[in-house]
């Protein structure tokens, strides 16, 4: 078994079209613009409107958690335009004794329907298994979020359960679908 090394996350991971990279304070305006989206607010419970102050707080917390190796929040950007954030993807909730983590993500309107999130999840999944030594990844989505379910399924994740009325945003409760992928099931 590969030794788990969640403290050694690279600051940038690349594919043919995308870069997944560590946030910086320079990203605040682009992050605010990308996250100020009604669908993201609905599915994730982010503030709407999503302001530069919200983005600043998110970047600061993300950088702190990165340094503590608690979670890695990566900007999804095009190689052609590495300063414009299209979305975010995260590895979080590390469970070192079990060699597992959770993946979470969102995509701005500008990046949707191009296969970019499927590609981003593939890049991060491969990195988590081959470089970090994880043996299991999990993803949870709102049962009504068909696009996120499709992204996970296209990357080989299996629906493992429906946690009824587990999720909530404000007063609204909703079912969460939990997906999982084992290292032994992953193929690049």
Phi, psi of 30 (to 5 degrees): -70, -40
pLDDT digits (tens, 9 = 90+) for 8-55: 677 889 999 999 999 999 999 999 999 999 989 888 888 889 999 999
Domains, the chain, ordered by start: 11-135 (3.40.630.30)
pLDDT digits (tens, 9 = 90+) for 165-180: 666 566 777 688 999 9
Q: Which residues of 62-89 are buried (b: 16+ CB within 10 A; e: fewer)?
A: beeebeeeebbbbbbbbeeeeebbbbbb
Q: Is the pTM value of this prediction over 0.75?
A: yes
Of 18, 1, 4, 12, the C-alpha closest to 128 is 4
Cβ distance 88 to 27 under 8 Å? no
């Amino acid at each position: 078994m590969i030794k788990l090394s969640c403290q050694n996350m690279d600051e940038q991971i690349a594919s043919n079209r995308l870069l997944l990279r560590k946030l910086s304070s320079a990203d605040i305006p682009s992050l605010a613009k990308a996250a100020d989206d009604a669908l993201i607010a609905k599915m994730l419970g982010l503030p709407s409107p999503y302001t530069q102050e919200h983005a600043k707080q998110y970047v600061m917390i993300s950088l702190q958690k990165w340094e503590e190796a608690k979670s890695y929040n990566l900007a999804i950007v095009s190689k052609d335009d590495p300063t414009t954030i299209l979305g975010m993807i995260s590895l979080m909730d590390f469970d070192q004794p079990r060699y597992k983590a959770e993946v979470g993500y969102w995509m701005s309107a500008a990046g949707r329907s191009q296969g970019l999130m499927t590609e981003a999840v593939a890049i991060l999944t491969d990195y988590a298994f081959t470089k970090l030594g994880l043996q299991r990844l999990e993803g949870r989505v709102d049962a009504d979020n068909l696009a996120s379910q499709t992204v996970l399924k296209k990357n080989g994740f299996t629906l493992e359960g429906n946690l009824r009325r587990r999720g909530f945003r404000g007063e609204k409760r909703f079912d969460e679908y939990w997906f999982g992928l084992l290292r032994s099931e992953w193929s690049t």
